[in-house]
C-alpha cells in the first residue's frame, strides 16, 4: 500500500488517523526529534491516513516517551514518526 507524510493537527488524539492531515512535502529539519508529534509516514494517499497500524501507534507512543524519531536504532533505518520541540 502507498504511504504519505501526514502532519499532526496538534489537537486530536495522536493515535487516531483523523488527527493527521496530508503533507505536500516531506518534514523539514525542524521536524525530527522532540516532545510532540510532528509528522508520520503512514498508509494512505488521502487527506487523512487510511489506518494507523499497530507499529505506527507503538512508534507514536515511543516518541512521546523518549522524544526521539521512531523507530529508533540503526541510523540507516527508515523513520516513520517524527517529533518537534516547543512543548
67 and 33 Cβ atoms separated by less than 8 Å: yes
> Could you tell me if residue 11 is inside a domain?
yes
For the entire predicted model, the pTM comes to 0.93
Question: How many structural domains comprise the chain?
Answer: 1
> Could you tell me if residue 71 is inside a domain?
yes
Beta-strand ranges (E) seen in 12-68 are 20-22, 36-43
Q: C-alpha angle 23/78/50, rounded to 5°?
A: 45
Q: Which domain holds residue 65?
A: 3-32+45-78
CA distance 67 to 34: 5
> Could you tell me if residue 83 is inside a domain?
no
Residue listed under C-alpha cell 524519531: 69
Per-residue pLDDT tens listing for the chain (87 residues): 899 999 999 999 999 999 999 999 999 999 999 999 999 999 999 999 999 999 999 999 999 999 999 999 777 889 999 999 988
> Could you tell me if residue 85 is inside a domain?
no
Amino acid at each position: 500500500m502507498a504511504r504519505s507524510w501526514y502532519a499532526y493537527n496538534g489537537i486530536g488524539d495522536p493515535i487516531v488517523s483523523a488527527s493527521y492531515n496530508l503533507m505536500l512535502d516531506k518534514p523539514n529539519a525542524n521536524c525530527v526529534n522532540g516532545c510532540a508529534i510532528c509528522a508520520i509516514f503512514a498508509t494512505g494517499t488521502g487527506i487523512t491516513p487510511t489506518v494507523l497500524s499497530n507499529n505506527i501507534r507503538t512508534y507514536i507512543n515511543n516518541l512521546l516517551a523518549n522524544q526521539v524519531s521512531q523507530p529508533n536504532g540503526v541510523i540507516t533505518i527508515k523513520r516513520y514518526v517524527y517529533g518537534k520541540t516547543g512543548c
